[in-house]
Amino acid sequence: MSDVLLELPGGDITPLLEHLGNATFINIGPGVNAEHVPVRSGLMSIFSNLGPSVPLATWTPGEIGLQHGLGTRAAPWLADHGCAAPRQWYVATDNPRRGLVVKTYATPATDALTWLVRATSLVCPFDVIFPWQAVVRTR
């Protein structure tokens, strides 16, 4: 197995497309300025009901995940903000600390990844000023 690091300018998933056939999973993060991300104390992160400050999105064939710092369930929040998961998908887990896991079944990867980047951009509390980063784990 090897990892491929890609930049996704503006969250454009096009650079990922050539890697989908060999991908076992993909992690995607928005390009935020690390200097603007507050550091949480050790106790705060242990006892908090929050996920990471900067969201992390994950794609695997048939499933997507989103760790976030909303402090609430993400699926209803996203729906309220115009980004509801499609009806044919199944929300397997929606926990403020562990994140959102959605079964996408046979949805084309491009559709799932496009929705995932949109959802991630909505839950990101920071300005995305750099290209998004993706790590593709290949077989």
Q: What is the pLDDT of residues 85-121, one digit of tens each?
A: 999 999 999 999 899 999 999 999 999 999 999 999 9
Compute the distance between CA of residue 123 and CA of residue 54 in angstroms, rounded to an integer. 9
pLDDT value of residue 113:
98
Three-state SS at 135: strand
Contact between 131 and 7 under an 8 Å Cβ cutoff? The reply is: yes
Calpha distance 36→66 (Å, rounded): 21
Alpha helices, H only, 5-51: 14-17, 42-47
pLDDT, mean of residues 4-22: 95
> Is pLDDT larger for residue 57 or for residue 2?
57
Higher pLDDT, 130 or 35: 130
131 compared with 44, residue with greater pLDDT: 131
Task: Pick left, alpha or beta for residue 138 (phi over 0 → left; psi -120 to 50 → alpha; otherwise beta).
Answer: beta
Supply the pLDDT for residue 85: 97
pLDDT digits (tens, 9 = 90+) for 37-80: 777 655 555 555 678 889 999 999 999 999 999 989 999 999 99
- Provide the pLDDT for residue 103: 98
Two tokens, residue 84:
């509801």
**What pTM value is reported for the model?**
0.90
Look at residue 130 and give its three-state secondary structure: strand
Write the CA distances from 50 to 45, 66, 106, integer angstroms. Answer: 8, 13, 31
